[in-house]
Each structure stands twice: as structure tokens, then as C-alpha cells.
Amino acid sequence: MTLLRLGTRGSQLALAQARLVADRLEAAAPGLAVELVTIATAGDRDQATPLAAGERPGWFTTAIQEALQRGEVDIAVHSLKDLPTRRPQGLVIAAVPLREDPRDALVSRTGAPLRSLPPGAVVGTGSPRREAQLRELRPDLDIRPIRGNVETRIRKVREGEYDAAVVALAGLRRLGLEAEAAEIFGFEELLPAPGQGALAVECRADDARARGLLARIDDPAVRLAVTAERSFLAAIEGGCSFPAAAYAEHFGTTLKLHALVASGGRIVRSKMGGPAETAPGLGRQLAEELLQRAGLR
């Protein structure tokens, strides 16, 4: 029996995601046993600071990556949208094994969709990306920061602290809570964060055993799509700091990338298609177009 130690955050969602990866690995490599090792990150320890104010690159990932670098775990599973585009030395994303539905969802106290919430309704989100798009859809809402895991956010809505909250549909599905969604937003309403719904599995670059095992569960089509999204984000982060969203659709050998940036109270959107193998360049090119149109270049 070969043992592989998998580093993960300790939330119910993180553990559910880690088990999905562990199950795939054990199915792909008979005789392999995957042990989950929970690691607390800065974002787990600080449950008070609003995400928009306190979040910094690696808030939910750095502690796990450092444990991986020290050899305390063999692989690490992250929500891909949490991974900074600047890569840590000595680590590689060796597998992007699966992607759940990347759309956003609304959880509301009364079960009402966004359009039916009363004027001034309190809607919780810790994401500037979601806030910018919500304000475009419903400028009359009172949008406030919210912290906590998926279950905590739902509880805060049920107890009346918020009238509604926006969460990732992927998280609801992986926790078996999809029935809590009062509305699932289309991409034209709320474009998701780059990599939303996808999982990333890291290992040390010099660990041939782990890289070989992870290659068995990598999904090339998903990897190409999120590569386009993350290259867009990397180009945006290179010169500015403001809400951005991106989602790539895979059509055989072609990718279509949808993206937006929000700056100065307005949202600029665009889309671009190209051969799938040009995913990195596609993301950079669309970022440059949007930055120019937003007057940021």
C-alpha cells in the first residue's frame, strides 16, 4: 500500500473537495491510500476582517503551500479561484481534475430571487466582483460584507442578519445544499471569478511520484479553460487592483473567453475566441482590450 498525504483546509467544503480528489486518485491508482491532513490558513483563523479589506494573495492557500514545501504533505488541494496567479517556488499545479458548475447562486431568507427582493434589502457578499455586478443589477440594494463558510453564510441569512447572500453554486452542490439556492445566475448577470468551481492539485516540482499520480486525474479541457481565465487575471493584476471576472467555454478545439472589469462605478465587458492551445495569449489579449476600454491603459 502506497500512502499519499493530502493537505487541505479543514472546512466542510474543503474536506468534501479533498475527498473528491482522493477518491479519483485511489480509483486511478489501485493500491494507493490517500490520507487527508487538515491545515489552518490565515483566512480560516481570521473570521472578522471583511474579505475585501483584509484578503491578500494566498490568504487561503499559503499555509498549505508552505507545509507542502516543507515536505509535511505530498500534495495539496485548493479551490482554484483561491490560488494567486504568482506561483511559489518549487511547486506546480500538477492536476486540474474536475470543475463543478461555475455559476453564482443566491440564497435568500424568503426564497425570493434577486429581482423580487424589496428595495433596501441587505445582501451579503465578500467579493468586490459580485458586489460590482449586483449593484449594476439592483442599485437599490444594501450590499454588505459577509464572512464564514457556506453553512455559516446560509445560517446568517436564515437568522435574519441578511435578507440574502451570494455564494458559489459549486460549493452548494459539493455540500449537498443546492436546494438552498433561490436563484442561479446566468453568466450575463454575474460572471464568475477566474477558476470558480475548479479544483487545483499542487505538488513539489521535483516529486516525480506525485506528479505521475496526479497526471492520471488531470482534465486537459478544464486545464485549458482555466489557463485562459487565469492568464487574464494575471494580466489584470499586473497593473491594477479592481474587480474582474472571467469564464472560458470549451468547444472542441476552440475556446471562447468572456471577461469583465469594474472600475469607477462602471463595468466593461468583452469576449474573445481562439484555438484552445492559445489559452494563455487569449487571456492576456482580452485583458489588454478591457484595460484600454476602461481607460486604464
Parse the chain into domains and list their residue ranges. 1-98+198-218, 104-184, 220-297
Q: How confident is the model at residue 237 (pLDDT cuts 50, 70, 90)?
A: confident
Q: Architecture of domain 220-297 in CATH?
A: 2-Layer Sandwich (3.30)
Which of 229, 199, 194, 226 is CA-nearest to residue 214? 199
Tell me the pLDDT tens digit for each residue of 13-61: 999 999 999 999 999 999 999 999 999 876 665 555 555 544 455 667 8
What amino acid positions are annotated as catalytic residues? 82
Q: What are the cell numbers at 62?
A: 499559503
Instruction: Quote the pLDDT of residue 54.
Output: 40
Q: Record the pTM.
A: 0.91
DSSP E strands, 208-265:
244-251, 254-263
Say which CATH class 1-98+198-218 falls into: alpha beta
Residue 262 burial class via C-beta count within 10 angstroms: exposed 0-12, middle 13-18, buried 19 and up: buried
Q: Looking at domain 104-184, which of 1.10.287.130, 3.40.50.1220, 3.40.190.10, 3.20.10.10 is its CATH number? A: 3.40.190.10
Q: What is the average per-residue pLDDT within 139-157? A: 96
Length of the chain as a residue count: 297
Task: Spell 63-82 as b/e; 16+ CB within 10 A means b.
Answer: bbbbbbbeeebbbbbbbbbb
Which amino acid belongs to residue 194?
Answer: P
Is-same-fold flag (1-98+198-218; 220-297)?
no
Which of 152, 143, 159, 11 is CA-nearest to residue 77? 11
The residue whose grid cell reads 479592481 is 242
Residue 159 burial class via C-beta count within 10 angstroms: exposed 0-12, middle 13-18, buried 19 and up: exposed
